[in-house]
Amino acid sequence: MSQELKLCDFDISKTTGFVATAPPLVKLPGEYFSQWEDVCAAIPHLVKQRQLRANIEALPDRKFSEETLQSEEEWRRAYVLLTFLSQSYIWAEGEARVVDTLPKKLAVPWCTVSEHVTLKPVATYASVVLYNYRLCDPNGGLTADNLVAISNFTGTEDESWFYMVHMLVELAAVPGLNAIERVFQAMKSGQNSVLVDQLQIIEKSIYSMRETLKGMYKKCKPSVFYVNVRPFLAGTQGISLFPNGLVYEGVDCEPRRYCGGSAAQTTSIPSFDTLLGIKHLESEDSPSFMEKMREYQPKQHRNFLVAIENQQPSLRDYITESQNPELIKQYNRILDALIEFRKGHMKLISVFVIMQSEKHGFKASEANGKDSIPVQPPNSEDGSDTNGIGTPDMKAEAKDEDTTPIGKPVKALAFKGTGGTALETFLDKIKNSTEAMKIPLPG
Ligand code: HEM
């Protein structure tokens, strides 16, 4: 009999899921980091003025020691701070002038801090979303109008909103995560009607995540995201601009390669996939992109996925062996919910990546990893006539794009995810491997 699965053993909150219940630290205390925090707060302005790199290079050269940081909250803030400084250093002057070496001043503390927080020294979902939110009204809740990003590359509301919609999707997953705990309890005690109820909660939670995705259109203009925000989130894996990767000066001589920040690093959707036994394999002998993404999740969260995998019997085996039609139907309904989530997500990608790549004259056939997702513009389902969600304002878009930091779209990122995937091949396979798990009804 496997050990009882408890969210609290994996730093998962019963009320906020993978989002820490206490809001992250907004600024590091003390003298050591004060100038670093000042530069971080000024990133949007300094990038526009082409002064970002000079300001970082002028920061005092002081030896970083682990005693500088006291609490876990401080380590996490240091990780966010160094991620924003380093990613903006790499991308501050656009595609033509990316650097292939990160100066020692950033590279050494970033690698030390990353190791401590069990994450990679690159933009990650944790650094821009999970550890990067604050409440406008500290007494208010984790709601759309009370959440804002702490650090920001562009200073635009679009960027903050982009991160905060991810936060809201995480929060919509919470009832489903709580139900995972109870699924295994119900299986152990053979209470099939309780099991059906818990599976229904998971299904509902995934539909609510799918609904929350639609909020992206409300305040994040696709062109601001595409031209200005996403380059800062890019990594060095699968992107032609970094043929040799990135050297972390003072850490090691060999360049390293990392995937960039992507919501593929969330642990919530993979928790449901893992519960259902869905594996997104690419080949028998090499780890798939989704398996690699586990290395970009905080360690305790990735351990939760392993703990689900280790539960005996698995949910799928239990249901298959039971041949209980109610359980089979409910299991298949969760698969449908995940497919709907993935279809809604593909629409976002069409609007925010594919249509934008085409608008800027890039050709899918010329991009690394050719892509041909059919373009699906937002329709009434994802548009303005439900929940007050608005479609992007194209006039405002053009204006914002002209006055933004980099100002030119990055060709090397056309038709690609910030995680570095070639879109069609990757996301289509993910959807198909979900569909393929349907259990046939008996008789
Ligand atoms: C404009 C908004 C978004 C865009 C353009 C976008 C883009 C992408 C892309 C390109 C990938 C492929 C991996 C990569 O190379 O990065 C991906 C994967 C993924 N994204 Fe998003 N994404 C968006 C919003 C979201 C949100 C709000 C969530 C919710 C947490 C989310 C969850 C996922 C998941 C779970 C994957 C892994 C694939 C899967 O399980 O289906 N994305 N996204």
- Taking alpha carbons only, the member of 359, 320, 354 closest to residue 422 is 354
Mean pLDDT value of segment 266-295: 88
Identify the band that residue 379 occupies on the pLDDT scale cut at 50, 70 and 90: very low
User: What value does the mean pLDDT of the chain take?
Assistant: 89
Residue 404 has what pLDDT? 47
- Residue 324's pLDDT is 96
Hey, what amino acid is at 429?
Answer: K
What are 220-260's pLDDT values in tens digits? 999 999 999 999 999 999 888 999 999 999 999 899 999 99
Domain edges within the chain: 7-435
Q: Write down the H helix ranges in 214-297.
A: 216-219, 222-223, 230-233, 268-276, 289-293
CA 57 to CA 59: how far, in whole Å?
A: 6
Q: Is 199 helix (H, G, I), strand (E, B) or coil?
A: helix
How far does the centroid of ligand 1 lie from the alpha carbon of residue 230, in Å? 12
pLDDT one-digit tens code per residue, 408-424: 888 888 888 877 777 76
* Predicted TM-score (pTM) above 0.85: yes
pLDDT, position 369: 41
Which of 170, 210, 213, 262 should be mutated for ligand 1, with most atoms under 8 A from CB? 262
339 CA to middle of ligand 1, Å?
A: 14
Residues with CB under 6 A from ligand 1: 165-166, 169, 213, 216, 225, 262-264, 266, 269, 342, 345, 348-349, 352-353, 417-421, 423, 426, 430
Contacts of 336 (CB under 8 A, 6+ apart): 203
CA-wise closest residue to 407 among 91, 104, 169: 91
Q: What is the pLDDT of residues 157-189, one digit of tens each?
A: 999 999 999 999 999 999 999 999 999 999 999
Whether the Cβ atoms of residue 163 and residue 129 lie closer than 8 Å to each other: yes
Report pLDDT for 284. Answer: 62
Res. 286 pLDDT band, cuts 50 70 90: low
Fold of 7-435: Methane Monooxygenase Hydroxylase; Chain G, domain 1 (1.20.58)
State both tokens at 370: 């050719």
Region 371-396: mean pLDDT is: 38
Greater confidence (299 vs 385) lies with 299
Mutational test site, ligand 1, from 345, 373, 425, max ligand atoms within 8 Å of CB: 345
pLDDT digits (tens, 9 = 90+) for 87-97: 999 999 998 89
